[in-house]
């Protein structure tokens, strides 16, 4: 049985798009929404799939990626609780712009485009939030492209870890850590480095006391120094 709309809203971030709808529209959206669990490794949708819905992440984390013609994966983002997926499809009705895969057990809410579009037209604040989200993602993608093409290995990896800390950082046993496990291949795909280079750099940083890596969990032990590495230009 799905939790009540109020219970779900209470657990979403304050800037969630759902909190920008009027109480009436929000209640109507929840009446039509479908809750769905995803297993670790399950694909929610693939790049190019037909699209007619938007998804809100209730809990868990997914990765958003695209694949080159040679089959190489490029990880664009990681989205956690309260995050939105598929907002482009809601606005233009086109195919999915990326592949989304659960990297841990995830629960989502699915809202159909036919229900969302009229509600967005009636709720300017919610529509503006969708546009703001698209602008943030475009700025982030531009920054990632610049980082991944113009930086050496150390600064490139440092900036990627700091981005993940900014969006998903938690305090775990008095350490600041990325709030989900990430394998080194995925981390490499996120910062355009090979798994071997990521492994080598993380081992060096662990020996120097910058980070601690334990079974996919990355904790930042010296954030100030890691920021210095991130800003270093050769």
Closest alpha carbon to 22 in 112, 132, 121? 121
Reduce the secondary structure of the chain to three states and give it as a string: CCCCHHHHHHCCCCCCHHHHCCHHHHHHHHHHCEEEEECCCCEEECCCCCCCEEEEEEECCEEEEEECCCCCEEEEEEECCCCEECHHHHHHCCCCCCEEEECCCEEEEEEEHHHHHHHHHHCHHHHHHHHHHHHHHHHHHHHHHHHHHHCCHHHHHHHHHHHHHHHHEEEECCEEEECCCCCHHHHHHHHCCCHHHHHHHHHHHHHHCCEEEECCEEEECCHHHHHHHHHCCC
pLDDT at residue 2 in the model: 53
How many domains does the structure of the chain reveal? 2
Q: What percent of the chain has pLDDT over 90?
A: 62
User: What sign for the dihedral angle of Cα 185, 191, 194, 197?
Assistant: negative
Report the pLDDT averaged over residues 79-101.
Answer: 88
Task: Please give the residue range of the domain that contains residue 177.
Answer: 152-231
Task: Check whether residue 119 and residue 185 sit in a common domain.
Answer: no
Residues contacting residue 232 through CB under 8 Å, at least 6 positions apart: 152, 154, 155
- State which of 121, 147, 173 marks the end of a domain: 147
Three-point CA angle 176, 178, 179, nearest 5°: 105
Express each pLDDT in 92-130 by its tens digit. 888 998 999 999 999 999 999 999 999 999 999 988 988
pLDDT at residue 1 in the model: 41
Task: Check whether residue 92 and residue 169 sit in a common domain.
Answer: no
Task: Check whether residue 42 and residue 127 sit in a common domain.
Answer: yes
Task: Check whether residue 13 and residue 28 sit in a common domain.
Answer: yes
- State which of 124, 147, 170 marks the end of a domain: 147
Q: What are the angstrom distances between the C-alpha of 77 and each of 10, 193, 203?
A: 25, 15, 24
- State which of 119, 147, 175 marks the end of a domain: 147
Task: Check whether residue 98 and residue 160 sit in a common domain.
Answer: no
Report the pLDDT averaged over residues 52-62.
Answer: 92
Report the pLDDT averaged over residues 45-69.
Answer: 92
Task: Check whether residue 86 and residue 25 sit in a common domain.
Answer: yes
C-alpha atoms less than 13 angstroms from C-alpha of 131 in its C-beta half-sphere = 8
pLDDT band for position 3 (cuts 50, 70, 90): low
Closest alpha carbon to 184 in 210, 207, 214? 214
Task: Check whether residue 181 and residue 127 sit in a common domain.
Answer: no
Three-point CA angle 161, 164, 167, nearest 5°: 150
pLDDT band for position 234 (cuts 50, 70, 90): low
Express each pLDDT in 215-224 by its tens digit. 999 999 999 9
| CB contact at 8 A, 149 and 138 | no
pLDDT at residue 136 in the model: 84
Task: Check whether residue 120 and residue 190 sit in a common domain.
Answer: no
Domain of residue 126, CATH code: 2.60.120.10
C-alpha atoms less than 13 angstroms from C-alpha of 145 in its C-beta half-sphere = 6
Report the pLDDT averaged over residues 20-39.
Answer: 91
Q: Is the pLDDT of residue 233 over 70?
A: no
Report the pLDDT averaged over residues 133-155.
Answer: 81
Domain of residue 211, CATH code: 1.10.10.10
pLDDT at residue 133 in the model: 83
Report the pLDDT averaged over residues 14-21.
Answer: 82
Report the pLDDT averaged over residues 181-185.
Answer: 96
């Amino acid at each position: 049985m799905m939790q009540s709309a109020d219970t779900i809203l209470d657990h979403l971030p304050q800037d969630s798009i759902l909190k920008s709808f009027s109480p009436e529209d929000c209640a109507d959206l929840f009446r039509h929404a479908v809750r769905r669990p995803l297993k670790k490794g399950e694909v929610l949708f693939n790049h190019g799939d037909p699209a007619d819905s938007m998804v809100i992440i209730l809990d868990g984390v997914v990765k958003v990626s695209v694949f080159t013609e040679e089959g190489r994966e490029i990880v664009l983002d990681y989205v956690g609780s309260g995050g939105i997926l598929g907002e482009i499809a809601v606005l233009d009705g086109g195919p999915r712009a990326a592949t989304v895969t659960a990297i841990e057990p995830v629960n989502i809410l699915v809202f159909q485009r036919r229900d969302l579009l009229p509600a967005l037209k009636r709720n300017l604040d919610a529509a503006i939030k969708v546009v703001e989200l698209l602008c943030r993602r475009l700025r982030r993608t531009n920054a990632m492209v610049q980082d991944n093409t113009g930086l050496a290995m150390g600064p490139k990896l440092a900036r990627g870890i700091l981005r993940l800390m900014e969006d998903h950082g938690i305090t775990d046993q008095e350490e600041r850590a990325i709030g989900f496990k990430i394998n080194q291949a995925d981390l490499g795909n996120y910062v355009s480095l090979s798994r071997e280079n990521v492994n080598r750099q993380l081992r060096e940083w662990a020996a120097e006391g910058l980070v601690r890596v334990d079974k996919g969990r990355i904790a930042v032990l010296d954030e100030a120094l890691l920021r210095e590495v991130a800003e270093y230009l050769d």
